[in-house]
Amino acid sequence: MTGFRARATGISALAAAAVFATLGVSAPANAAETKSLTIEGELEIADLDVLAIKAEGVTDDTGKSTGTYEATLLAGDDDNPLPFTVRGPITCIHTDGDTASLVYPISATDPNLIPAPLKDALAVQITVRKGDPSKVGVNGPAPTDSFSGCKPAATPFEFDGDIEIK
């Protein structure tokens, strides 16, 4: 019954809903649910802050993800940023309960270390899991086209900060 579709020349959407209800089958969803993800905090290894992460993105009801990602290297604590930051647009968001993942192509660094032909050639996946403690994982950088979707990956590192998944 999953392949059933009401056609304009066939039964109306209301009649199709009645058929689905009678058969005890849920009608297929017309659009994806809007999802959002906000991350702000530090990736920690052995109680040392290594990476400050800021991300804010949304996936609209058509399935298109947008947003921004920024990561700054840290020298042991969040008061000592190193002079290296990576930025990129969020192109994929996956949310599932207290777990979320995003993919972003590296579009800029500060200082600028990306030659123009390599801009967006590499991407990174970030996965976060809310909990006590919260966890984070980094997958990449890898060729941008090697990412097909952004289902969550491993989260081996502690994360000290805020994770908002909607």
- Contact assessment for residue 6 and residue 15, using Cβ atoms and an 8 Å cutoff: yes
pLDDT of 163: 97
Nearest 10 degrees: CA dihedral of 124, 76, 56, 64? Answer: 10
- Contact assessment for residue 57 and residue 93, using Cβ atoms and an 8 Å cutoff: yes
CB proximity list for 52: less than 8 A, separation 6 or greater: 41, 42, 71, 72, 74, 78, 81
pLDDT of 3: 39
**Residue corresponding to tokens 């500060």:** 110
Distance in angstroms (rounded) separating the CA atoms of residues 94 and 157: 19
* Tens of pLDDT, residue by residue, the chain (166 residues): 333 333 333 333 333 333 333 334 443 444 456 789 999 999 999 999 999 999 999 999 999 999 999 999 999 988 889 999 999 999 999 999 999 999 999 999 999 988 888 899 999 999 999 999 999 999 999 999 999 999 999 999 999 999 999 9
Tokens of residue 5, six digits:
């579709």
Tokens of residue 79, six digits:
């008061």
Confirm whether pTM is higher than 0.95: no
In one letter, which amino acid is 46? A
- Contact assessment for residue 57 and residue 66, using Cβ atoms and an 8 Å cutoff: yes
